[in-house]
Chains A and B, each alone.
Chain A
């Protein structure tokens, strides 16, 4: 079991990570619902985690694992604030569409 795991090459890790990141990025750029935007951002953060874990295994050190844990904590915190904002915005506007949130237009 360990051997098969060790057999996974770094390239595959990075491919999965890149694919996840692109999906997240496209989600951020295309989606209009702020809840889904947050979801996409989570996706991008976790793609970075996959890459970190892959590198960590490749170089046989644990730094990457620790970083991945830190990223998770940060992501959890970010989601708490983000969801709070979304709920607050929804209470005021009764709509969830980032394209209509243009108060900051110069």
Chain B
């Protein structure tokens, strides 16, 4: 029964996309709302039913593979169009359809005054379908198919305002960088096919330890190549630069695709491939180090951003760094736990930011905000919950998930201790930049010259209710798991995470992570308060301090410049050079030369055209005479 439900969950968003796109002309808004929101919401209900059914079974009996038909059959390779329903994919399905439906609901009001109402919801439906295919696929082949399709959906939605040059550039950048990742994934799949002759999850994970071996070059290579895909999709160094630019898309898109779901696909993939990563210790360490570097780097960049959505984007990069770090260290369920809480509080923060942006007529600079507390009461309270959650203040959800990652890091050897300290410090940085945003938007004086609108207007119910629901989830979701004491999520995921090392943080490690993390976060919040609320002028007086470092942060550690110099400009030069030589000289030169020769020949031959009939007749006679002479000579 649950197999049918699973296929329905996958098909419903696709159906919504088709029902909206195939409608001739612009459909009535009520129809768009009903189809765009209704079908994914049904998908969520069905996912919940699947979850309940699996919950009723024994832990060992919770994995089902449903094959629709055989997609590829060759001599040694057979690929099925198949779904895998197991605890990990069901968790992802619940988040994708649940948070997805909330955000679609929010969008029905947010996009109401915008153009292309139908196209927006059709593309959201397409995204939900692609993301569900990614998380429900039962083999690497359809994982990669979903991987590519979410990239396309992301491209379409970043470039939603397709006549805005910056949005088009951002969508192109996201697509190009994601293709680099796709190439990594495809190469990893090639190696798996060569080594194991299959792409099916069950068969790969069963055969890999024996066939590929522990710590061998092949295992490391597969893990690294898969991580290239994860790094591109999940915005890890050095492929992270597309995500902040992706904020050109509408805010609900940023919340759904570029915060809650798609960008965590890399984490999902690593957790799904935990068997492969446990075979590759060096690659896993590299993954963890990249995650830690990303989380530290992104947290510092978020300090100096002025655009509310870019702050949240860098914060997303940083939070995914936590998840990637946890996955690299073998704390897979901790990574998935943070994915879950992050999906709630980051979607909440983006939707809250959307309310603010909406109220101020598309103003995104926090310099033009301030004192909004009294105008946007609901946004103020819910954003407060979101900021406390991401800053890891107990008892909000981020506290449990982030501290679990740090505690497990401490338990994961020497590297883990170093990375755990990085995570602890970055937690303090997170609290500072989030409350910098919070205080500057909601507290402090109103901006000079007033707001861009007469009165910031409070949102309607369709925007308020999803935010409140997400705030409730962000507040309480942390109680799903407390290290070493209460871990239903870990037990739930256990059948899918077969190779996880047995990490057990000691009591002291848990205490350090909890108390240290909370103390740092509180100190950071106090510091943000001291700087932005206690004396609003202090910020401007301190603007000159650390000017050099601030400039580096504004340049986002010069990654874009480095890419420009290392890849983009040489590529452009190569193109210009080939244009000047091969194109002009060869590809264009040869046809031009032939044409010119024909023209010259024609110019010469036209002298023969006298227009005198008798000349032609004489030429004809002469020709016949010559042919006759030749004929006679030959016949002789």
Measured CB to CB, the residues of A under 8 A from B are 25, 28-30, 32, 37, 98-99, 101-106
Closest CB in chain B relative to A73 CB, distance in Å: 23
Cβ 8 A contact of B614, one of A98, A104, A105: A98
10 contacts between A and B (CB under 8 A): A28-B614, A30-B614, A37-B613, A98-B614, A104-B609, A104-B611, A105-B609, A105-B610, A106-B605, A106-B607
Contact A106 B611 (CB under 8 A): yes
A10 CA / B126 CA spacing, docked (Å): 94
Contact A106 B612 (CB under 8 A): no
B599-623 vs A: 1/0 string, CB under 8 Å?
A: 0000001111111111001100100
Contact residues in B for A30 (Cβ distance below 8 Å): 614
From A101, which residue of chain B is reached at the shortest CB distance?
Answer: B613
Contact A29 B617 (CB under 8 A): yes
Contact B612 A98 (CB under 8 A): yes
A102 CA / B615 CA spacing, docked (Å): 11
Query: Contacts A25-B621, A29-B621 hold; do A106 and B608 have CB atoms under 8 A apart?
Result: yes
A98 CA / B621 CA spacing, docked (Å): 18
Contact B617 A99 (CB under 8 A): no
Given contacts A98-B613, A104-B611, 4 further A-B contacts (CB under 8 A): A37-B613, A102-B611, A103-B611, A105-B612
Contact residues in A for B606 (Cβ distance below 8 Å): 106
Contact residues in B for A99 (Cβ distance below 8 Å): 612, 614
Query: Contacts A98-B614, A99-B614 hold; do A106 and B621 have CB atoms under 8 A apart?
Result: no
Contact residues in A for B618 (Cβ distance below 8 Å): 29
**Total inter-chain residue pairs, C-beta < 8 Å:** 34
Contact residues in A for B621 (Cβ distance below 8 Å): 25, 29
Interface residues on B, range: 10 to 19
Contact residues in A for B605 (Cβ distance below 8 Å): 106
Closest CB in chain A relative to B617 CB, distance in Å: 5
Contact A102 B612 (CB under 8 A): yes
A101 CA / B614 CA spacing, docked (Å): 11
From B605, which residue of chain A is reached at the shortest CB distance?
Answer: A106
A56 CA / B209 CA spacing, docked (Å): 100
Contact B609 A106 (CB under 8 A): yes
Closest CB in chain B relative to A28 CB, distance in Å: 5
A103 CA / B609 CA spacing, docked (Å): 10
A99 CA / B617 CA spacing, docked (Å): 13
Within 8 A of A (CB), among B582-636: 605-614, 617-618, 621
From A40, which residue of chain B is reached at the shortest CB distance?
Answer: B617
A32 CA / B606 CA spacing, docked (Å): 23
A37 CA / B610 CA spacing, docked (Å): 18
Cβ 8 A contact of B611, one of A28, A37, A105: A105
A29 CA / B616 CA spacing, docked (Å): 9
Closest CB in chain B relative to A87 CB, distance in Å: 17
Contact residues in B for A29 (Cβ distance below 8 Å): 614, 617-618, 621
From B607, which residue of chain A is reached at the shortest CB distance?
Answer: A106
Closest CB in chain B relative to A45 CB, distance in Å: 15
Contact residues in A for B617 (Cβ distance below 8 Å): 28-29
From B618, which residue of chain A is reached at the shortest CB distance?
Answer: A29
